[in-house]
Chains A and B, each alone.
Chain A
Amino acid sequence: MLRVGNLVKQYINEAGERKGGVSGVSFDVKEGELFTLLGPSGCGKTTTLRSIAGLEHPDSGLIQLDGRDLFDSRSDIQLPMYERDIGMVFQSYAIWPHMSVFENAAYPLRTRRNGHLSREEIESRVMRSLEMVGLSEYRNRSATKLSGGQQQRLALARALVREPKLLLLDEPLSNLDALLREQMRSEIKRLQTEWGVTTIYVTHDQSEAMALSDRVAVLNNGMIAQMGTPIDIYDRPRCEFVANFIGRTNLLRGTLASQVRAGDIAAVHTSIGAIRCMFSSSMTAGHQISFVIRPENIELQRLNGVASDTAPNSVSGLIQGKVFLGEVAEYTIGVDGDHKLIARTHPSIGLNRGDRVRASFPENKVIAICD
């Protein structure tokens, strides 16, 4: 459906340093898919989105939508944005304050290229999209009198009213408060599924990306660090950046004891003892590697008296901090002096600061990073 090939767009600041932009991003988005570009600010996700939209002129690369070239640096094709058949929702909503709700949503149908539509046609299509987002009763209201969430809905209705081939969402939820954000998140997912429109979603919020996406591309420094389904990226991060960026994580380093092949479970020697972890690719013995343990995969057990037998993949430590988060409690555990582990458990476990605990983690949940 959408193909982005080796897209390059670099920004040079006044001091002549490279700042932001993308340096060679490639991905394919399938029909009806919700594809997310996720990353910290300055990683190039917005540049990629704006290049697809036609708001930026990339330095080189290829962008194809439905077999049509939108941009191709080799044959010097740059289709202007208004001919790209793309709907877009901006971070600031960009609702036109001098128009009513209806006029805002009708604007895309009244552009020159759609000039042949009849009044009835426009009326029915606008009302259909306003109904989809639950704004039909506000049709005559001035757009400035809408709340933040309503403006967001209107922006969505406006982007979808032309039934574009591709919908681009640029951090659409970042200006909403927490409660509204969750509502709108499910709303967007619902609308996207109902209209079946291929969507690219840009965000820096990993929980949004996890909740919404069919597939996610994690960007760092203008490159795609990892691409896959949300579960794939969460459970099997391929580099330290992705492991750290997606969710809370414990990142440890050690030396590989023996040679491994993909799918093996093998021991890694660390300063807190030997820990067995999962390998997704082959590696020779003696390699310095890092591995991740998600906080929710650590099981805590109170230790009374002296530490008894040492089970495999477990360490003993002292609880140094506790944060109650509602549905979970997060513990910081000091292990062997300087090392700290973060663990999340159900709050009913009732551990407190100063308690000695044993932290254990199943070996198939300890993931070696093979980059």
Chain B
Amino acid sequence: MPGVLALLLLSFIRAFESFEVPAIVGLAGNIEVLSTSIYQSSRATTPPNFGQAGAYSVCLLAFLACLLYFYGRLSRHAHRYQTITGKGYRPRVIDLGRGRYASMLVLVAILLFVIGLPLAIIVFVSFQPFFGSFSIASLSRWMLKNYATVIGPGFFRSTLVNTLVLGTVTASLVVPFTALCAWLAVRRKPAAWVLDQLATAPLTFPSIVMGVAFLQVFVNLPFPLYGTLTSVIVASAVAYLPYGMRYAYAGVLQIHSDLEEASTASGAPQMQTFIKIVLPLLSASMISCWLFVFLLAVRAMSLPLLLVGPGSSLVAVSLFDLWQNGQVTELAAMGTVWVALMTCVSGCFYLVARRYRILTA
């Protein structure tokens, strides 16, 4: 029961801080929620009212802090209800008999409906000159102009490159940093719990609030950082630290401390032990962590939304802008290219992981 309650609360929190859906669906009908109000007051009004955005942010944060407190209390005793223990856990294969065809059909249908259908519509629209419903006549209007716009040199291409750079650099910053933090925290080095707490703190911030916070910081910095890709990278790296931390933490827990002590006994100081023993043994979780952070960073919209400038456009933000401008067919083309690219990235990682036997299915 506490599990269900905690889940309920968590979904509530997630829905409360979500930005994308209310922004795309709600703004058109003038339905404003807190998260979109923050955006409206700092972007859509001229001049931007940062004070109002800040006030909204504090309200949202305060409310979420209360909810998270209750969530923490609910899930604190979660281990009492755990059903999977480390010892002798074997997933059991249930023979469904004839039912397996039916269940397979249902699963495929759900997949098709949830992922296949929207994707198909996006792909369809991307070949159209204007946004319209599917008809026989529309088939005769196939064209590749949208793709030419997206892939050809110019704004869209630089957007793609920017986004890839953002993902790569963010992931490459987060992974080694959290590996070190997690190691220090797991091995209970003095004061390492402070690092752990600091690296976990960004989890409590809704990303739109995080965006406002970083916006204020960058605007007030003496050197010009506002609007640059670097500023987005810094914000993303901070925002995704907690995820990196969880991956690395679990990874370090799997390394028996004897392996490190054996290194110390061999005459290696701490740092050498970390580099020669801990890092290679962590490589599996670090690779999956890298991919995870990369994907999070490139698809995030609400965090970079307030931070990007003319020279630092990103795919997710551009897609949002395209939507607001009504350029649905370009949006579709760009979305298709992007989905294809990301599928490739995941595929590559899967191959790499399997090659080094990281994934044990």
A interface vs B, CB < 8 Å? 53-55, 80-83, 85-88, 90-92, 94, 96-98, 107-108, 111-114, 155, 158-159, 162, 168
Contact = CB atoms under 8 A, between A and B. Distances in A.
B210 to A, nearest CB: 37
B272 A55 contact: no
Nearest to A80: B269
B269 A88 contact: no
B281 A82 contact: no
B265 A111 contact: no
B262 to A, nearest CB: 4
Interface stretch (B15-23, B67-75, B253-261, B328-336): B253-261
Contact of A88 (B256, B259, B262, B281): B262
A107 B261 contact: no
Contacts, number: 67
Contacts of A82: 264-269
B269 A94 contact: no
Contacts of A80: 264, 269
A96 B262 contact: yes
Given A96-B277, A98-B280, A98-B281, A88 B265 contact: yes
Contacts of A87: 265
B354 interface: no
- Scoring B264, B267, B280, B281 by chain A CB atoms within 10 A of each residue's CB, the highest score goes to B267
Given A82-B264, A90-B262, A94-B259, A112 B276 contact: no
B263 interface: yes
Contact of A94 (B262, B268, B276, B280): B262
B265 A159 contact: yes
B283 to A, nearest CB: 8
A54 B269 CA distance: 12
A267 B280 CA distance: 69
B259 A108 contact: no
Nearest to B281: A98
Q: Closest 6 A-B residue pairs measured CB to CB?
A: A108-B266, A94-B262, A94-B258, A88-B265, A111-B267, A98-B280
B160 to A, nearest CB: 36
Interface string B43-75: 000000000000000000000000000000000
B266 A111 contact: yes
A111 B283 CA distance: 21
Contacts of A53: 261, 265
A90 B269 contact: no
B262 A114 contact: no
A91 B258 contact: yes
Contacts of B281: 96-98
Contact of A111 (B256, B268, B280): B268
B256 A92 contact: yes
30 contacts: A53-B261, A54-B264, A81-B264, A82-B265, A82-B266, A82-B267, A82-B268, A85-B267, A86-B265, A94-B256, A94-B258, A94-B262, A96-B262, A96-B263, A96-B281, A97-B281, A98-B281, A98-B283, A107-B266, A108-B267, A111-B267, A111-B268, A111-B269, A111-B272, A112-B272, A113-B267, A158-B266, A159-B265, A162-B266, A168-B265
Contacts of A90: 258, 261-262
A81 B256 contact: no
Contact of A92 (B258, B268, B272, B276): B258
B270 to A, nearest CB: 8
Given A96-B277, A97-B281, A55 B269 contact: no
A176 to B, nearest CB: 16
A83 B269 CA distance: 9
Nearest to A53: B265
B286 to A, nearest CB: 13
A257 to B, nearest CB: 55
Contacts of A113: 267
A80 B261 CA distance: 12
A87 B263 CA distance: 10
B269 A162 contact: no
Contacts of A158: 262, 266
A94 B262 CA distance: 6
The interface centre, meaning the residue of B256, B261, B265 with most chain A CB atoms within 10 A of its CB, is B265
Given A107-B276, A111-B272, A112-B272, A94 B261 contact: yes
